[in-house]
Structure 1
Amino acid sequence: MKTFVPFSQLRQQPTIVVDSTGLGAALTLAHWRGAATPEPLRDDTSAGSVLRALRAPATPGLEAVAVTANHFDVDGFVGVWSLLHPELALRHEHLLRLTALLGDFRELNWQDPLAEHALQLVCWLNAEEKDRFYEPFGAPALRRREDEASAEKFEWFLPRFAQLLENPEAGRATWEPEYERIRQAMATAQSSTTCRRTYPEIGLVVVQTPQPIPYYALFGPTAGFDMVLSLYDDNRYEFEYKYTTWIDLESRPTLPRLPLDGLAARLNSLEQSGHLWTFDGITDTGPLLRLTGRRLSKAERYADPDQRPIYSSSITPEMVEQKVVEFFREKYTNVQPRRYWSWAAIRAAGGGKGEL
């Protein structure tokens, strides 16, 4: 039987580290860029690596009794829980994979028969996390370190998750409000008021829809793409690199993230609204390019688009789309997609720009 331990206890006993990295780990099961996950266990999600490990019981280090993570999110939690409940995890492997994928990449195949259950699990985790603890990336506002504060979340969720896995109705009162909000947004995303244009050669999806919508609806059908340009009514726009280019994606090659300063400069040369186009660095988990009035906190940037202000631009949506597509087509001209980019290689592909 394995047990969860706070991240600070990593070196006190042989410990498996999930969705994190740490010196002294007996085994690392993480999709983080450059993580020491054994090659046969690499997967798009950290939970996926855990599930692969459970099917390879001779994996060195898997015998360690302690399990930890340095933060709490859906993917990491599913991975930790699966190590503590291996038989039940393997019985529900497909559902757990869907849940981890939705939690981290906000992608989901809505035609999958278990898609609804996965959404319910994620909504339950999200709702309980916010109500009982603090929102994702909210620890600094409480003057606490995430690796310390998140241990309390794991201790609360770990003994309760199995019931929801086998009977989601047990948590309906908690997951239903967010679930219904997502389903309503999905109805909009699937209606004639929304259109998508794809540019596979640069990995871009353009989503044109009337109002900002939750990520699960916005990113849900964008599997296989790594950038999303959202065009809303009243000339409101956001561009975002998906989390798929922050981690070591196993299932397919990707293009490297490029610094967004050049694109922001091109848009600012056209902008007459009084707002400036600003951008996050390439090592942010989900860099945004947007018009800014005030700087958003990490928690606000991680929250759904309909939960933050998005300002009107003087530039037409056609011109914004044109400038974004032109920029990436130009910059990716001599760059080939591949797996396992290092941050140094990503920086080099961007002309030596971007923080490390």
Structure 2
Amino acid sequence: MPRQFVPFQTLRRQPTIVVDSTANGAALVLAHWRGAPTPASLRDDTSAGSVLRALRHPDTPGLSAQAVTANHFDVDGFIGVWSLLYPELALAHEPVLRQAALLGDFREWNWHDPLADHALRLVCWLNAKEKELFYPPFGAPVLRRREDEASIEKFEWFLPRFAEILLNPESGRAAWEPEYARVQQAAALMQSPATTLTRYPALGLVVVRTPEPLPYYGLFGPTTGSDIVLSIYDGQRYELEYKYTTWIDLESRPTLPRLPLDALAAHLNALEQSPRRWSFDGITDTGPLLRLAGNTLKKAERYADPDQRPIYPSSIAPDALEQIVVEFLRQGYTQIQPRRYWTWAEIRTAGQPLRVAE
């Protein structure tokens, strides 16, 4: 009997596989969320990757459950759910599905890979149709609905239609082409002399200097293997971001824990001569940002691409800002070694006490 997608609220009514989420009472959890009870042998950088591993081990306990669910819709979770419903097709196209899941969650587009173009078209199609027909990521609260309820309609629409786009991306060109073109332009700029990257491997930091804000898929493309990005744009405009790679249990490599950004923001505010103030998100946010604040950004706006939100000029010079950020991270990580499977409790402890050296 083929598996079927069920609403998240019904998972306890029948044995259910939970993807890219976690819940008590699941027959099997396949998620990269921090602390999720994914079987050790199935851990992967993405939840879809764990699903694909499970499909290659059909004797996995719980995999015989006929119901599949997730508590939200995103590229990684959707590909995981779809793969469980169409396992033969998923395994036949595993490499491109893995790339699409990584691109959707980590925003890292490896334009040198032969499958990168195919993966980008799939993700851009999912993004475009999601926004056209439903609501953008993290947009459910605007509709006064819970994500686990509102996302059901997305799954029900996308699940029977995705195979056609996977097998023939050209059939969805009208939807995916606008974002695809933006990303291609961004990738070209990232590879041009106008952009420079400075890497601090011991800190997990990449400093990207490029003229204008870019779509994440282009901006984060060459940052694979790093977890913090300081973007420095012309006109002394800046954003510092902890990537999603430090929100989940990354399997492929050890990571450093996130540091709270309040001390860094306080130090920058003491130096800032413009009328704006530096603001920051908490360490449990999916992608904490440090930036000069205007109107408070909603989560959906912070998740959107940098070229889709205002980024304000600072009075602090680029070299000075880079040095301050680097010294803050060096101090914070002095006594900390990278490893896998940090708990949130350990991450909170690692960042205390923390201040910026004068």
The TM-score range, normalised by the shorter chain, is over 0.9
* Alpha-carbon distance, 1:293 to partner: 1.2
- Contact 2:109–2:218 under 8 Å retained in 1: no
Which secondary structure does the structure 2 equivalent of 1:320 belong to? helix
Structure 2: distance between partners of 1:352 and 1:294: 30
Which secondary structure does the structure 2 equivalent of 1:346 belong to? helix
Structure 1: distance between partners of 2:120 and 2:294: 33
Which secondary structure does the structure 2 equivalent of 1:221 belong to? helix
- AA partner of residue 103 (structure 2): L
- AA partner of residue 98 (structure 2): R
* Alpha-carbon distance, 1:157 to partner: 0.2
Ranges in structure 1 where 5+ consecutive residues have no aligned partner = none
Per-residue CA distance 1:278-312 (angstroms, 9 max, x = gap): 10000000000000011100000000000001110
- AA partner of residue 6 (structure 2): V
Q: Which residue in the other structure is 1:103 paired with? A: 104
* Alpha-carbon distance, 1:22 to partner: 0.9
* Alpha-carbon distance, 1:186 to partner: 1.1
Q: How does 1:319-330 map to 2 (within 5 A)?
A: 319-330=320-331
Structure 1: distance between partners of 2:119 and 2:353: 40
Q: Which residue in the other structure is 2:9 paired with? A: 8
> How many residues matched?
353
Q: How does 1:197-276 map to 2 (within 5 A)?
A: 197-276=198-277
Q: Which residue in the other structure is 1:173 paired with? A: 174
Structure 2: distance between partners of 1:343 and 1:289: 20
Which secondary structure does the structure 2 equivalent of 1:315 belong to? coil
Structure 2: distance between partners of 1:180 and 1:306: 14
Structure 1: distance between partners of 2:46 and 2:262: 30
Which secondary structure does the structure 2 equivalent of 1:162 belong to? helix
- AA partner of residue 233 (structure 2): Y
Q: Please give the TM-score of this superposition, normalised by the length of structure 1.
A: 0.98
Structure 2: distance between partners of 1:110 and 1:178: 15
Q: Which residue in the other structure is 1:93 paired with? A: 94
Structure 2: distance between partners of 1:47 and 1:319: 41
* Alpha-carbon distance, 1:108 to partner: 2.3
Structure 2: distance between partners of 1:59 and 1:352: 43
- AA partner of residue 250 (structure 1): E
Q: Which runs of 4+ in 1 moved over 6 A?
A: none
Ranges in structure 2 where 5+ consecutive residues have no aligned partner = none
- AA partner of residue 65 (structure 1): Q
Structure 1: distance between partners of 2:225 and 2:61: 32
Per-residue CA distance 1:168-190 (angstroms, 9 max, x = gap): 01101110111011111111111
Per-residue CA distance 1:108-129 (angstroms, 9 max, x = gap): 2211111000000000000000
1:145 aligns with 2:139: no
* Alpha-carbon distance, 1:352 to partner: 6.5
Q: Please give the TM-score of this superposition, normalised by the length of structure 2.
A: 0.98
- Coordinate RMSD, CA, aligned: 0.7
Structure 2: distance between partners of 1:4 and 1:138: 22
Structure 1: distance between partners of 2:44 and 2:179: 28
Q: Which residue in the other structure is 2:288 paired with? A: 287
Which secondary structure does the structure 2 equivalent of 1:267 belong to? helix
